[in-house]
């Protein structure tokens, strides 16, 4: 009887263990099913630390720290302009801990973007996706050198798209997110649940009582700007060569206040007092309407303007030139010109 009782007891334990294994949550793999884990592993190797070094007296010291994202296997890295600004030298640290000196390929203060380059092998480029397709509420992940803690991963959602912000005289169109972005995150990636880049983290509103408001430069802007910086060392922006201002009745369009001598508008015969009613068939009522069209037009291409001169309506073709290099305040005062 004692042996029989032991056998029954052991059988009961085995059946109980089997039932527990069937009905209890499985410890292996369950917590790893959340997409952020895979995203962090996929994107992590593409994220770097950018050190801004400056000469202080007789020695060079690290004065600033930010993040960057590997663009290609040739060593091009995108970061924020303010991360590399005023640097005497730059150092990039990969996710492996390796350090490399970096040089500036080009900077673009109007978008707060810069491209730097290192001589390194086995780099892992990030994958881009169109930021125009994002929607408020979708999951996003930020990775960066937060407060000096390398490869910090934070999670949030897209809070809003195409937020217009103004800083240092420039107009920025940004993605708003509640993913934690702290000093050192600047220049790091904001990615979707597939690990695809939708933005470059740029700034955060840091005030008492305010949480969860961070901003990133949209990937569509990043892709265009870095392409220009790599090919030309600067962003070649189209220039109309006219100072415009809205009229009292927006339906009338924009009035030309002045034209630059030998600029595109002057060469096409446009005059102060002319009203621009459309560009390439699209009605324009604000300076932003003009900018949207010009942003999609390459330097050297023509645009067709609908013009009202007095009571006469006409169409005038204008061949765009490259925007002259100017101080930030002057350029931003009339972005559509």
Catalytic residues: 82, 112, 186
Residue 103 CA from chain centroid, whole number: 21
Structure token pair of residue 323:
């925007």
What is the spatial distance between Cα 48 and Cα 97, in angstroms, rounded to a whole number? 9
End-to-end CA distance of the chain: 100
DSSP, residue by residue, 67-91: EEEE--TTSEEEEEHHHHTT-SEEE
Which residues fall within 8 angstroms of residue 214, CB to CB, at 6 or more apart?
A: 142, 156, 176, 177, 178, 179, 180, 181, 185, 201, 203, 204, 205
Paired sense of beta strands 275-279 and 242-246, if any: unpaired
What is the spatial distance between Cα 13 and Cα 15, in angstroms, rounded to a whole number? 5
Q: Pick from 110, 331, 327, 312: which is nearest to 225 by CA? A: 110
**Paired strand residues for 61:** 54
Residue 188 CA from chain centroid, whole number: 9
Q: The dihedral of CA 159, 213, 225, 79: what is its sign? A: negative
Which residues fall within 8 angstroms of residue 179, CB to CB, at 6 or more apart?
A: 140, 141, 142, 154, 155, 156, 157, 190, 214
Q: What angle do CA 216, 296, 336 make, to 5 degrees?
A: 85
Asked if residue 158 lies in contact with residue 152, where contact means CB atoms within 8 angstroms, the answer is no
């Amino acid at each position: 009887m004692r042996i029989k009782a032991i056998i029954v007891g052991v059988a009961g334990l085995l059946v109980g263990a089997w039932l527990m294994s069937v009905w209890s949550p499985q410890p292996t793999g369950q917590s790893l099913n959340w997409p952020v884990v895979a995203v962090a592993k996929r994107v992590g190797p593409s994220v770097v630390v950018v050190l801004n070094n400056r000469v202080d007296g007789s020695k060079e010291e690290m004065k600033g720290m930010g993040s960057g994202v590997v663009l290609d296997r040739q060593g091009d890295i995108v970061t924020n302009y303010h991360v590399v600004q005023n640097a005497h030298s730059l150092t990039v640290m990969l996710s492996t801990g390796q350090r490399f000196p970096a040089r500036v390929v080009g900077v673009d203060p109007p978008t707060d973007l810069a491209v730097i380059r290192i001589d390194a092998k086995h780099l892992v480029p990030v994958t881009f996706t169109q930021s125009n397709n994002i929607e408020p509420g979708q999951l996003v992940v930020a990775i960066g050198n937060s407060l000096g803690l390398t490869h910090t991963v934070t999670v949030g959602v897209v809070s809003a798209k195409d937020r217009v912000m103004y800083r240092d005289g420039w107009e920025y169109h940004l993605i708003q997110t509640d993913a934690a972005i702290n000093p050192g995150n600047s220049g790091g990636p904001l990615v979707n649940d597939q690990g695809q880049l939708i933005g470059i983290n740029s700034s955060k509103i840091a005030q008492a009582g305010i949480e969860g408001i961070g901003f990133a430069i949209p990937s569509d802007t990043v892709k265009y700007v870095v392409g220009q910086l790599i090919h030309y060392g600067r962003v070649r922006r189209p220039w109309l060569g006219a100072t415009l201002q809205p009229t009292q009745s927006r339906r009338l369009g924009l009035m030309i206040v002045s034209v630059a001598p030998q600029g595109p508008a002057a060469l096409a015969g446009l005059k102060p007092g002319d009203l621009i009613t459309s560009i390439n068939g699209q009605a324009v009522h604000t300076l932003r309407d003009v900018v949207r069209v010009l942003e999609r037009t390459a330097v050297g291409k023509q645009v067709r303007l609908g013009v009202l001169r007095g009571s006469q309506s006409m169409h005038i073709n204008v061949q765009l030139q490259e925007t002259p290099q100017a101080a930030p305040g002057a350029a931003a005062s009339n972005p559509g010109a």
